[in-house]
Amino acid sequence: MSVELASGRIRTTGGAEAVCYTDPLTGLGNRARLRDKISKLVQERSLDPAPFTVGLVNLDGFRPINDLFGHTAGDDILCQVAHRLRACMPPGAVAVRLENDAFAFVLPLVFDERGAEKVSDIFKDVLSAPYDLGKRTVRLSSSFGFAIYPYAGEDYGQLMESVDTALYRSKRRGRGQTTVYSVDIAEEMKRATQLEQALRRAIIADEVDVHFQPIVDLRNGAPVGFEALARWHDDELGFVSPATFIPLAEERGIIEPLTEAMLKKATRTALSWPVEMFLSFNLSSAQLLDPTTHDKIMAILRSVGFDPRRLGLEITETAMMADPEIANSIIDSLRAEGVSISLDDFGTGQSSLGRLREIALDKVKIDRTFVSEITRDRPSEHIIKAIIALCEGLDLEVVAEGIETREQADKLLQLGCSIGQGYLYGRPMSADRIQQFISAAGTVLTAQQQFR
């Protein structure tokens, strides 16, 4: 027996068995209740193996709630989640809380993938409504994983392993995702684990390299700086794209050692460049959630002896949106040290104009998707023109990415953008080729000046 309190929390009363099967915070069932429910269903359906579905749900971005507002606020949200799940469970279904923000449910009358996805859509809507924390409200999305008996497992252990795999894949794909377990998904996750192990070894062995792409003055092609880009070639896997291993490093919690190793290598290389040239370096979304990021970056710069005023850090709108308060604090503290901040891939996010007003920035990088179409697509030209005008009004420098033709460069100059990068000026190159590139660019620039 349970009683709902005015606060929204559940107080459980009754016998010892009820206590053993009940989560004390929310009043939902616990892991023991989940195991019992699944085991009984498996036993019932072993003779007539009608499918049933097990689901897991995690709240996206729940951890910062405890950090920012305290554990009482976090507990209140968990109780509200429990109340909502209890209210929308279909007939015969049961919901439980496993730990932290992990909830599970058993759906005896959901037999296939389509049914699981329909339930997911309903739960997502219910859980995305604002959560009341007294003087404030917060919104959270949720990620789901599903496993269907007997295809994803024939007992409690196998089903839970499968549903864990499905949920993990959802969280890898971003916020608010749903995955129903299949053999193909299991193979995909197995490959990701193998890749993770190889990447961990590569980080320890210092086998991930840094390459540098020139950023130039479009008026004369002279390099003004270089962007550091991670490159990894594994003896067994071959070349692994950064679009694959960087997100994996973030997901598996190894982005910090990878980034620190890359920044050390990049700043040591940049020490040999002319002092007027800057180093541009990408910050991950995980680093904009870590309050110690400022101290770690400054410690690396001090150990290398690199001037913070020559370092430019690139961030994305998506990374900023994860926790704007922490991200802004990190950005402000770094800018106070002389580090410049660039907003990368501008124009592709959902709240670009608002971000320009809210973030203390120095530069904006126009995304390559607009630059690639600038000479043949009038809307792209007008978008770039508007971005340049906006940045001029906000006293922000504009850098264009992905310049591949002289026509694109000329059009950007005509519109008022004088700094850019792309294959027209140079592909990412190893550290030992940069001095040669700088010297060659200087020779060309001198020749241009002589013929004026």
pLDDT tens digits, one per residue of 397-446: 999 999 999 999 999 999 999 999 999 999 999 999 999 999 887 655 55
- Domain architecture of the chain: domains with CATH: 2-181 (3.30.70.270), 192-450 (3.20.20.450)
pLDDT at 355: 61
pLDDT above 60 for 141: yes
Nearest to 227 by CA among 236, 215, 239: 215
pLDDT above 50 for 311: yes
Tens of pLDDT along 23-60? Answer: 999 999 999 999 999 999 999 888 777 899 999 999 98
Tens of pLDDT along 312-334? Answer: 999 987 777 767 888 899 999 99
Helix axes 406-415, 378-393, angle to 10 degrees: 40
Least confident of 9-23, 145-159, 189-203, 372-386: 9-23
Residue 3: pLDDT band (50, 70, 90) is very low
Q: What 3-state class would DSSP assign to 221?
A: coil
Tens of pLDDT along 175-189? Answer: 889 999 998 888 888
Nearest to 313 by CA among 273, 336, 345, 343: 343
Whole-number Å distance between alpha carbons of 339 and 356: 18
Mean pLDDT, rounded, for 7-29:
67
Q: What 3-state class would DSSP assign to 301?
A: helix
Strands 419-420, 397-400: pairing kind = parallel
Q: What 3-state class would DSSP assign to 423?
A: coil
Cβ–Cβ contacts within 10 Å for residue 353, how many?
Answer: 11
pLDDT above 70 for 277: yes
Tens of pLDDT along 60-99? Answer: 878 777 777 788 888 999 999 999 999 999 888 999 999 8
pLDDT above 50 for 384: yes
DSSP string of 170-195, one letter each residue? HHHH-TT-EEE--HHHHHHHHHHHHH
pLDDT at 4: 40
Name residue, tokens 């789901």: 144
Name residue, tokens 């990049």: 266
Contact 428, 211 (CB under 8 A): yes
